[in-house]
Amino acid sequence: MPLKLSIPDLEQLTPERVRELDCAQKEQLLNNILDDLRELHDRLNRTPWNSSCPPSSQPVWGRVGKPKEGEEGEKGEDKEENKTSAESGEVSETSNEKSGGESGSEAKEQSEDESGFSRAEEEKDKKPGRQPGMVGHSRNQNLPMTGEVKHIPGECVVCRATQSEENFVAETGHLTVDVERVGESGGVLGLQATHVKHLYGKTTCPACGHVHRTEPGRTSKEEPWEVELTEWRLVGPMLVSLIVFLHFRMRLSYRRIQEFLDIWLGLYLSTSTLSQCVHEAGRAVEPLEEELVEDIQKAALVHIDETGWPEGKEVLWLWCFITVTTCLYMIGYRSREFLENVLGEMFLGWMMSDGYRTYRFYPQRLRCWAHLLRKARGLAQSSNSAEAKPFGKAVLTFLADLMAAIYAAREGPPGENLKERFADRLADFKVLCERYSQADHEKTRLLAREFLNDWDAIWAVLENPDLPLTNNTAEQALRHWVIARLLSQGTRTPQGTRVFGLLASVIDTCRLRNINPWPYLAEVLANRRQGKEAPPLPVSALS
Ligand SMILES: [Zn+2]
C-alpha cells in the first residue's frame, strides 16, 4: 500500500498550518497519519527473506574469492617457507592435546548447560503479558536482589501527561545480572555485581485513560544472525563486555570465564550463556564494520598480513589490515579476489606486505625488509661458501648501507631521492641477483629471484624514506590472535568466525585510538538491544 502523505504534503504541514485546520480536518489528517504509520511498521519488519525486496549486494566479508584449483597453498617462491607448515603443525599438536584432555568434560558440561539454558530460552520466547511474575532463569544465582526497575512510559502519547508508577500494572519481567564499575579513581578492583528485576506492563494515563504497554526493546531480525539482540536478557551489557574482555583480551575459555565469575563475583553463568553473550556482542558491533572498511580504503598506508585460521575442518586465513588508527580483521580465503574485495577499487594508499604472490598485483606496494634480512643472514651463516655465503653477505652489506641512508634521510631535509643516489649500486645489485637467480643452492636462488620479482616494491622506500621498512605493525597485531587460535583451535562455525573478526576489529581499533573499548562495547550493546543505532566509533584520544 502506498503512503497517503507524500514528502511535499509533509513539507506543507507545518505546526502553523496544522493550527489553522478545523477539528474535522485534524481528525481526518490524524487518521491518514495513523494509516501511514501502520504501513511503515509493517515495512520495517520486512526483510529480503519475507518480502519481495531484492537481497542486498554481496557484503564485503562474504566468502568471495575461493581460490581456484591449485591457487590455495601456492606459496609463491618467496613466501616465508616455514610459515604455513610450522603453523599447521602447531594447530594439530594442540588439537591432539585437547582431544586427550579437557574436551570430553567440556562437551559434557556444554550439553548440561544447554538443557539449563533452553528453559530460559523458552521463557524468553513467551509473549510478554502471558507470563505474570518472574522468569526463573537466574535460580542459580546466589546474588541478593539489588534493585527493581519498573518500565513506565515518560509521557502520554495522546495528551502528553506525565505517567506515574501508581497506574502501572506489571505484566511480565525478567532478572538481569550485570556489573558496575566502581572505584574509578584506581586502587580498587572496581567491579560490583548487580541483580536487578525489570518489570514491564501497562500504564493507564490518569488524564485521558489511554493505556500504554511497555516491553523490552529489541532489534528486528538481521540476516544471517541467529542470536537475538534484545533487552530481554539475563546478562547485562557491561557484564557482556567483561565476558568479551576475558575471552578475547585475556584469551580465557568459557570454562575459565565461568570459574572466574563464579568465584570472584558470585555469578553463575553457563558456558552456553557465555557463548551467546559473545555472539550477541558480535552482532551488536556489525554495523561498525562498514566504517572500519572505509577507513582502511581511505588510508595512505595499510599494513597487511595473514595467517592460517581453522574453522571447523576448513582452513581459512585471518587477514589483518592495520593503519595508524584502524585495525580490521577478516577471515576468508587467501586470494586476490578476497583482498581486492576488502580494499575496494578506490584504494590509493601504500600497501606494506610480505612477499606472498597475491599482493603482487597492486602497484603501490612496500616490502617488509625484515624478512629479506632474516633470509640473507641465514645465507651468510650457511656452510655453502660457493653461493650462499657470498650472496648473503652482499645482500646484508647493501641493505645495511641503504638503511643507514634511509635513517639519515628521515632526519635531514626532505626531498632527497635515494633511488637516484644509489642508482649505480642498484644496477650492480640487480646483475648480482640475476646471476644468483640461476644458482644451484636453492635458498640462494629463491632469495635472488625474490629480489627480482619484487624489485620495485622493495626499493619504493628509497624514494619515500618516511615510509616504514618492516611490516611489524601487522605482525604484532596478529601475534595476539595467533595465541588465541592455538588455545581455541580457531572457530567452529561461520557465525563464530564472523563474531571473532568483528569483535577483534572493534577491540583493536579502540586500543589503537587509545580508547577504553569495554564501556564503549557495553554502550553499543545497550543501544542495539533497544533497537537503536550503534554509537559511532570514538575518534583517537591521542590527536
Ligand atoms: Zn493521556
Domain positions in the chain are: 133-215, 369-469
Tally Cβ neighbours within 10 Å of residue 489: 16
Angle, CA 398 vertex, CA 395 and CA 404 arms, to 5°: 135
Residue 189 Cα to ligand 1 middle (Å): 47
Residue 164 Cα to ligand 1 middle (Å): 12
Cβ neighbourhood burial of 115 (10 Å; 0-12, 13-18, 19+): exposed
Per-residue pLDDT, 270: 93
Residue 211 Cα to ligand 1 middle (Å): 8
Please identify every stretch of the chain with a pLDDT value under 70, giving residue numbers as ranges.
Answer: 45-64, 67-142, 184-189, 541-543
Residues 6+ apart with CB under 8 A from 321: 296, 302, 303, 304, 327, 328, 329, 330, 342, 343, 474
Residue 204 Cα to ligand 1 middle (Å): 8
Per-residue pLDDT, 453: 92
Residue 368 Cα to ligand 1 middle (Å): 69
In whole angstroms, give the CA distance from residue 117 to residue 316: 31
Residue 203 Cα to ligand 1 middle (Å): 10
Residues 305/475, Cβ–Cβ less than 8 Å: yes
Q: Helix 254-265 and helix 271-285: axis angle, to 10°?
A: 110
Closest CA to 336 of 310, 365, 312, 309: 365
pTM over 0.85: no
Residue 205 Cα to ligand 1 middle (Å): 5
Residue 38 Cα to ligand 1 middle (Å): 21
Per-residue pLDDT, 59: 58
Residue 247 Cα to ligand 1 middle (Å): 48
For ligand 1, a single-atom ion, which residues have Cβ within 5 Å?
Answer: 156, 158-159, 161, 205, 207-208, 210
Residue 531 Cα to ligand 1 middle (Å): 25
Residue 165 Cα to ligand 1 middle (Å): 14
In whole angstroms, give the CA distance from residue 120 to residue 294: 40
Report how far apart the first and last C-alpha atoms of the chain are (Å, whole number): 51
Residue 370 Cα to ligand 1 middle (Å): 72
Q: What is the pLDDT of residues 407-422, one digit of tens each?
A: 999 998 877 789 999 9
Residue 200 Cα to ligand 1 middle (Å): 19
Residue 357 Cα to ligand 1 middle (Å): 69
In this structure, what C-alpha cell is assigned to residue 494?
A: 561461520
